[in-house]
């Protein structure tokens, strides 16, 4: 990371900051704005979109910025950027189209809206940094195809657990180890939590109850671990991941895993509940070289066969500007799909569901998400969690049953469904001609 601060310092000294637009302005967006404006020399948050202009203005207000204008056209936005005036708008397409913006941060947490914004940004030559694992897990692979064709970078971000895991994964590989588990440390996992049970916690921290619920019910970690799998080529050991309850130090959790199974699977993504230090992430890796194993023992990493590496924190909005710098200045994606999906997040009934009901959204009352392999998801036509909202049930579904496409009617005309179908077709396994 130290090369990033040096490069940003040079941009600051040259009076040529990296110019960034942000799509979305909520709890995380306000933190990103404050961090970028007050703590990151060489980078400038030139424009913020929110459907609620007051939320966009708050991003600047809480950062101590007063020179803010409302823009309604691309020309107005480009003029504001050229004159050094900060801009807010309720039209995301302006940020996607305007000259003078090097990269966009997408932080809405939506699927359908974000799909349109990200695709438009890519088509107009903008790099995109996602703080949106929900979108990334659902249609990230096909959006990456579009980004590659356009010559721009689509990347997840530092700070969120997937980015922290990927940084650790890359470090572990760089010292000659073989990562076999990429993991996340959770304090709570209860698939039946809902916005009512989580209302108090959400209010305490100034967050939305459904967002907090998605953390508690396992949906968020499923999206996050899916995109780590898709960026590393790893898989899962079973539907929903292993998810051990373990209250010791994460270094001691290596014994929970069967190394032969891990090697056979090619590595897995997973999580543990209750381990220390939390919250944090870990990578368990192996080393076959007997001389290196001697040194690892000398350096107090134990005797294997799995060696534990961990990061005891994830600092979310503090680190997101580093991601933008990596993408713009070094063309280095923090985390992105390497091909088609390896792991999906599938829709699971949180309560008994009735025919005729319309499914609510991520982190609400009706469904939760859990990881499944892409092969099983495709073979069984399981409904991706990122596409579930707004679907109408054709039949009753008992609690904890995974929904399929055949169980629902999909709303008409959604871009996310079109992109998902395109993704399924693009990455469909090649059919081998039968021998005669």
Q: What is the pLDDT of residue 415?
A: 98
Q: How confident is the model at residue 70 (pLDDT cuts 50, 70, 90)?
A: very high
Could you tell me if residue 325 is inside a domain? yes
Q: Do 143 and 211 lie in a common domain?
A: no
Q: Total domain count for the chain?
A: 2
Whether 16 has a pLDDT exceeding 80, the answer reads: yes
**More confident: 232 or 215:** 232
The tokens for 419 are 């992109």
Q: What is the pLDDT of residue 208?
A: 86
Domain boundary among 300, 330, 360: 330
Q: Do 300 and 325 lie in a common domain?
A: no
Q: Do 223 and 155 lie in a common domain?
A: no
Could you tell me if residue 70 is inside a domain? yes
Could you tell me if residue 432 is inside a domain? no
Q: Do 195 and 268 lie in a common domain?
A: yes
Could you tell me if residue 168 is inside a domain? no
Task: For residues 33-48, give the mean pLDDT.
Answer: 97
Residue with tokens 């940020």: 95
Q: Do 138 and 154 lie in a common domain?
A: yes
Q: How confident is the model at residue 395 (pLDDT cuts 50, 70, 90)?
A: very high
Q: Do 105 and 87 lie in a common domain?
A: yes
- Span 352-392, pLDDT tens digits: 999 999 999 999 999 999 999 999 999 999 999 999 999 99
Could you tell me if residue 335 is inside a domain? no
Q: Which domain holds residue 231?
A: 174-314+340-427
Could you tell me if residue 169 is inside a domain? no
Q: Do 13 and 153 lie in a common domain?
A: yes
Q: What is the pLDDT of residue 13?
A: 97
Q: Say which residues have a Cβ less than 8 Å from residue 411's Cβ, sequence separation at least 6.
A: 390, 391, 417
Q: What is the pLDDT of residue 435?
A: 56
Q: Do 35 and 61 lie in a common domain?
A: yes
- Span 81-116, pLDDT tens digits: 999 999 999 999 999 999 999 999 999 999 999 999
Q: Do 227 and 105 lie in a common domain?
A: no
Q: Do 324 and 344 lie in a common domain?
A: no
- Span 117-164, pLDDT tens digits: 999 999 999 999 999 999 999 999 999 999 999 999 999 999 999 999
- Span 48-63, pLDDT tens digits: 999 999 999 999 999 9
Domain boundary among 330, 358, 377: 330
**Which contacts of 191-199 are long-range, i.e. CB under 8 A and separated by 24 or more positions?**
191/217, 191/218, 191/348, 191/350, 191/368, 191/370, 191/400, 192/217, 192/350, 192/351, 192/368, 193/217, 194/350, 194/364, 194/365, 195/363, 195/364, 195/365
Q: How confident is the model at residue 309 (pLDDT cuts 50, 70, 90)?
A: very high
Q: How confident is the model at residue 433 (pLDDT cuts 50, 70, 90)?
A: low
Helix axis angle for 133-150 and 415-426, nearest 10°, is 70
Helix (H, G, I), strand (E, B) or coil at 89: strand
Global pTM reads: 0.95
Mean pLDDT, all residues of the chain: 95
Q: Say which residues have a Cβ less than 8 Å from residue 144's Cβ, sequence separation at least 6.
A: 154, 336, 337
Cis bond before residue 195 (omega within 30° of 0): no
Backbone angles phi, psi at 265, to 5 degrees: -80, -15
The tokens for 109 are 């947490």
Could you tell me if residue 247 is inside a domain? yes
3-state SS of 310-342?
A: EECCCCHHHCHHHHHHHHHHHCCCCCCCCCCCC
CATH number, residue 128? 3.40.50.720
Q: Do 199 and 275 lie in a common domain?
A: yes
**403 in Cβ contact with 388 (< 8 Å):** yes
Backbone angles phi, psi at 402, to 5 degrees: -80, 135
> How many helical (H) and strand (E) elements, i.e. helices and strands, does the chain have?
16, 16
How many whole angstroms separate alpha carbon 377 and alpha carbon 415?
Answer: 20
Q: Do 191 and 275 lie in a common domain?
A: yes
Could you tell me if residue 347 is inside a domain? yes
How many whole angstroms separate alpha carbon 390 and alpha carbon 110?
Answer: 13
Domain boundary among 283, 305, 330: 330
């Amino acid at each position: 990371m130290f090369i990033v601060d040096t490069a940003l310092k040079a941009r600051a000294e040259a009076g040529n900051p990296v110019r960034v637009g942000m799509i979305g302005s909520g709890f995380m967006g306000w933190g990103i704005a404050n961090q970028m404006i007050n703590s990151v020399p060489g980078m400038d948050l030139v424009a913020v979109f929110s459907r609620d202009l007051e939320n966009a203005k708050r991003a600047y207000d809480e950062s101590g910025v007063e020179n803010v204008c409302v823009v309604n056209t691309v020309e107005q936005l480009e003029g504001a950027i050229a004159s050094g005036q900060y801009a807010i708008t309720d039209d995301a397409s302006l940020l996607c189209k305007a000259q003078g913006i090097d990269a966009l941060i997408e932080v809405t947490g939506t699927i359908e809206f974000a799909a349109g914004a990200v695709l438009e940004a890519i088509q107009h030559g903008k790099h995109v940094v996602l703080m949106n694992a929900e979108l990334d897990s659902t249609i990230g692979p096909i959006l990456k195809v579009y980004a590659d064709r356009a010559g721009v970078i689509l990347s997840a971000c530092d700070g969120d657990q997937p980015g922290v895991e990927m940084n650790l994964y890359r470090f572990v590989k760089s010292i000659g180890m073989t990562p076999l588990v990429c993991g996340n440390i959770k304090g709570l996992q209860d698939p039946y939590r809902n916005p009512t049970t989580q209302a108090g916690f959400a209010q305490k921290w100034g967050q939305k109850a459904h967002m907090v619920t998605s953390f508690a019910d396992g949906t968020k970690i499923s999206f996050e671990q899916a995109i780590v799998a898709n960026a590393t080529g790893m898989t899962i050991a079973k539907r929903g991941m292993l998810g051990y309850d373990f209250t010791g130090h994460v270094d001691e959790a290596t014994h929970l895993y069967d190394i032969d199974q891990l090697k056979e699977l090619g590595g897995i993504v997973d999580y543990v509940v209750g381990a220390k230090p939390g919250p944090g992430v870990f990578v368990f890796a192996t080393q076959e070289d007997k001389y290196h194993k001697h040194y690892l023992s000398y350096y107090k990493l134990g005797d294997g066969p799995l060696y534990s590496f961990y990061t005891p924190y994830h600092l979310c909005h503090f680190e997101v500007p580093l991601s933008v710098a990596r993408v713009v200045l070094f063309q280095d994606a923090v985390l992105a799909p390497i091909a088609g999906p390896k792991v999906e997040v599938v829709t699971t009934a949180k309560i008994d569901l009735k025919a005729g009901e319309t499914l609510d959204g991520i982190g609400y009352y009706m469904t939760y998400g859990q990881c499944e392999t892409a092969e099983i998801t495709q073979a069984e036509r399981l409904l991706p969690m990122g596409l579930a909202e707004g679907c109408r049930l054709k039949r009753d579904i008992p609690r904890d049953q995974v929904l399929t496409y055949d169980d629902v009617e999909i709303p008409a005309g959604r871009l996310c469904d079109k992109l998902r179908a395109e993704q399924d077709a693009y990455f469909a396994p090649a059919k081998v001609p039968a021998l005669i």
